[in-house]
Amino acid sequence: MATRRNVLAVVALALATVVSGAAPAVAGADTDTLRAAARGSGVRIGTAVDMSALASDADYRAIVASQFDSVTAENVMKWEAIEPERGRYDWAAADRLVDFARANGQVVRGHTLVWHNQNPAWLTEDAFTPAELRQILRDHIKTQVRHFKGRVYQWDVVNEVFNDDGTLRDTIWLRALGPGYIADAFRWAHEADPKAKLYLNDYNNEGVNAKSDAYYALAKQLRSQGVPIHGYGMQGHLGVQYGFPGTVFDNVRRFDALGVQTAFTEVDVRMILPVDPTKEQAQAYGFSTLLQACLLARHCVSYTVWGFTDRYSWVPGVFEGQGSATPYTESLQPKPAYQAIRNTFLLAR
Ligand code: XIL
């Protein structure tokens, strides 16, 4: 059984291997897939899943099933998809993902219960009183978590609630309910499924900075108040043109010390197009460096990529002139980033 201890010893080797692309040989083990390489590491390897691609693209479906042991709905568990009209819930697409995961021996990360984006118009356009909003939030969280009870093992309870400077983001929830809405959201989710692990989740919070300091302080405060918060999610949307945060392990380690789990929840590493070999190599390093921090940590439990192929990645649609952010090309060929993820797992054995 692999331990986290031997990881430190191999980091230098991992870096060399990532750069050279050579795969270490592991005798007698089936290590052809990311999923097999991750086995025994204590870290699950996940992907976001695009449900229309899963339905229409057999090659896509085969890779989700074979390469990953955790899945996250890219969109279909968000509020606008789950409760498009007040009190009318549409579980169909999300249930299809949960069924697919069960059939393939995978766990499901739930994403997300409270966010300022992708909310239905009825929620954001109607002027509700604070008391009504509180009731709406409570009903939504309880209904959704109860529906997936025992089938979704982790929830991103709140997503992106801080600004980069560490102040709370101005949202309908903060305005109407004050900062206490965060603790309430965790309590309601816990009541609905006491076994689910409940997460904070954000971007630009991978290294030590004002935003992750705010999360650390919040996690500490909530724990001391007995609020059921179990995990800290770092999305991991990186770009080769920005370089990579150098203090990721320091950050993860302080959550370890608090007894809070960590997870990399939405990793992708974009670049300014066109692709060239230097950018692809830097990208491989970016994917690997987050995974190394996870493998080095005591309580980092999963590493999820936000889509595994450029064929369906959200990046080109949102970041103009950028792309190639995932471990597989549009034609589903593995890139150096894929080999880097696999090698980093293998070297930690
Ligand atoms: C993105 C999806 O990938 C897109 O398909 C959708 O149009 C917008 O949302 N942070 C998150 C994710 O927490 O839910 C976002 O997903 C990416 C940024």
CA distance 98 to 102: 6
From ligand 1's centre to the CA of 13, what distance in Å? Answer: 34
CA distance 200 to 183: 11
Q: State the pTM of this model.
A: 0.93
- State the CATH number of the domain containing residue 109: 3.20.20.80
Beta bridge partners of 231: 199, 261
The CA–CA distances, whole Å, from 280 to 273, 276, 324, 326 equal 11, 6, 9, 10
Phi-psi region of 298 (alpha: psi -120 to 50; beta: other; left: phi over 0): alpha
Query: What type of residue is 255?
Result: F
Q: Is 312 in the pocket of ligand 1 (CB under 6 A)?
A: no
The single residue of 74, 83, 160, 206 carrying the catalytic annotation is: 160
User: How many CB atoms are closer than 10 A to CB 321?
Assistant: 10
Q: What is the pLDDT, as a whole number, of residue 163? A: 98
User: Which atom of ligand 1 is least distant from the CA of 203?
Assistant: 10
Query: What type of residue is 102?
Result: R
Q: Are 157 and 114 in contact (CB under 8 A)?
A: yes
Active site annotation includes 320: no
Q: What is the pLDDT, as a whole number, of residue 30? A: 67
Q: Is 74 in the pocket of ligand 1 (CB under 6 A)?
A: yes
From ligand 1's centre to the CA of 347, what distance in Å? Answer: 31
Tens of pLDDT, residue by residue, the chain (349 residues): 444 534 443 443 444 444 444 444 444 456 799 999 999 999 999 999 999 999 999 999 999 999 999 999 999 999 999 999 999 999 999 999 999 999 999 999 999 999 999 999 999 997 899 999 999 999 999 999 999 999 999 999 999 999 999 999 999 999 999 999 999 999 999 999 999 999 999 999 999 999 999 999 999 999 999 999 999 999 999 999 999 999 999 999 999 999 999 999 999 999 999 999 999 999 999 999 999 999 999 999 999 999 999 999 999 999 999 999 999 999 999 999 999 999 999 999 8
User: Which atom of ligand 1 is least distant from the CA of 50?
Assistant: 5
Q: Are 115 and 169 in contact (CB under 8 A)?
A: no
Q: Does residue 196 sit in helix, strand or coil?
A: coil
Percent of the chain clearing pLDDT 70 (strictly above): 91
User: How many CB atoms are closer than 10 A to CB 289?
Assistant: 25
User: How many CB atoms are closer than 10 A to CB 180?
Assistant: 11
Q: Are 337 and 329 in contact (CB under 8 A)?
A: no
From ligand 1's centre to the CA of 75, what distance in Å? Answer: 7
**Burial letters for 49-64: b for 16+ Cβ neighbours within 10 Å, e otherwise?**
bbbebbeebeebbebb
Q: Is 159 in the pocket of ligand 1 (CB under 6 A)?
A: yes
From ligand 1's centre to the CA of 291, what distance in Å? Answer: 21
User: Which atom of ligand 1 is least distant from the CA of 115?
Assistant: 13
Q: Are 108 and 145 in contact (CB under 8 A)?
A: no
Q: What is the pLDDT, as a whole number, of residue 25? A: 47
The single residue of 74, 83, 206, 266 carrying the catalytic annotation is: 266
What is the tally of structural domains in the chain? Answer: 1
From ligand 1's centre to the CA of 315, what distance in Å? Answer: 9
User: How many CB atoms are closer than 10 A to CB 336?
Assistant: 22
CA torsion angle 155 140 94 76 (round to 10): -90
Mutate to test the pocket of ligand 1, among 49, 161, 306 (most ligand atoms within 8 A of CB): 306
Q: Which domain does 84 fall in, by range?
A: 4-347
Q: Is 314 in the pocket of ligand 1 (CB under 6 A)?
A: yes
Active site annotation includes 266: yes
